[in-house]
Chains A and B, each alone.
Chain A
Amino acid sequence: NAGVTQTPKFQVLKTGQSMTLQCAQDMNHNSMYWYRQDPGMGLRLIYYSASEGTTDKGEVPNGYNVSRLNKREFSLRLESAAPSQTSVYFCASSWQLVYGYTFGSGTRLTVV
């Protein structure tokens, strides 16, 4: 099925551990995004990649890094996880913003 695939679906980390969240899309979209979703708050943009080879900070980039590996793949790395990074992380892609995002099914991350 065409869409956005995220791995893993669930992860528990200890404070200070590192991990990489993987995202791949097969719709030939130029732009890809990483969001976090916390209870009672709107989605917040962490990083985005407007096109292959470019990445830019969003609203809440501190503590995260990203890599646009190729047109299909966009990964998010937590170098030293903190409890404040406990959240649900969504990857999304789009052709153009006005046509809407296609979201992945999310990664539920708990940092203890």
Chain B
Amino acid sequence: EDQVTQSPEALRLQEGESSSLNCSYTVSGLRGLFWYRQDPGKGPEFLFTLYSAGEEKEKERLKATLTKKESFLHITAPKPEDSATYLCAVQAGESNYQLIWGAGTKLIIKP
């Protein structure tokens, strides 16, 4: 069964303390892996798409990487405004429209 698992469920960091979030997947025929950010009471906001192992994407303090089994979202010197839930999703198989979503990692950055 296709599955996406994110860890940890929650992560508390001090401002400036770098860390990584993990998204592991078991799917047949990965076509793309997506990262989204979700603030409380709002819809998810698209961050990155990764297509193949070895690919990296960056945006401000965030860098996403992809291997054949997992993706990491690295957060460098985070600020309180980076606090949010980060969601990972995978497109696999033949569908052009369906994604498999992880449950998310809630990130809290303390000043």
A104 to B34, CA, bound (A): 18
Q: Say whether B43 contacts A90, CB under 8 Å.
A: yes
Out of A40, A50, A100, name the residue touching B46 (CB < 8 Å): A100
Q: Say whether B43 contacts A105, CB under 8 Å.
A: yes
A4 to B100, CA, bound (A): 22
Determine the chain A residues whose CB is within 8 A of the CB of B44 once the complex forms. 43, 90, 101, 103
Q: Say whether A105 contacts B97, CB under 8 Å.
A: no
Q: Say whether A42 contacts B100, CB under 8 Å.
A: yes
**Which residues of A in the span 63-112 have a Cβ within 8 Å of any Cβ on B?**
90, 92, 97-106
Least CB distance from A60 to B in Å reads 12
Q: Say whether B43 contacts A97, CB under 8 Å.
A: no
Chain A residues bordering chain B, tally (CB within 8 A): 26
Least CB distance from A29 to B in Å reads 12
Determine the chain B residues whose CB is within 8 A of the CB of A42 once the complex forms. 4, 87, 89, 100-104
Interface string of B86-107 (1 = CB under 8 A from A): 0101010000111111111000
Chain B residues bordering chain A, tally (CB within 8 A): 25
Out of A41, A50, A106, name the residue touching B97 (CB < 8 Å): A50
A84 to B97, CA, bound (A): 25
Would you call B42 an interface residue if the criterion is a C-beta within 8 Å of the partner chain's C-beta atoms? Answer: yes
Determine the chain B residues whose CB is within 8 A of the CB of A105 once the complex forms. 41-43
Given A42-B4, A43-B87, answer yes or no on A101-B103 (Cβ-Cβ < 8 Å).
no
**Which residues of B in the span 17-62 have a Cβ within 8 Å of any Cβ on A?**
32, 34, 36, 41-47, 49, 51
Query: Which residues of chain B have a CB within 8 Å of any CB of chain A?
Result: 4, 32, 34, 36, 41-47, 49, 51, 87, 89, 91, 96-104
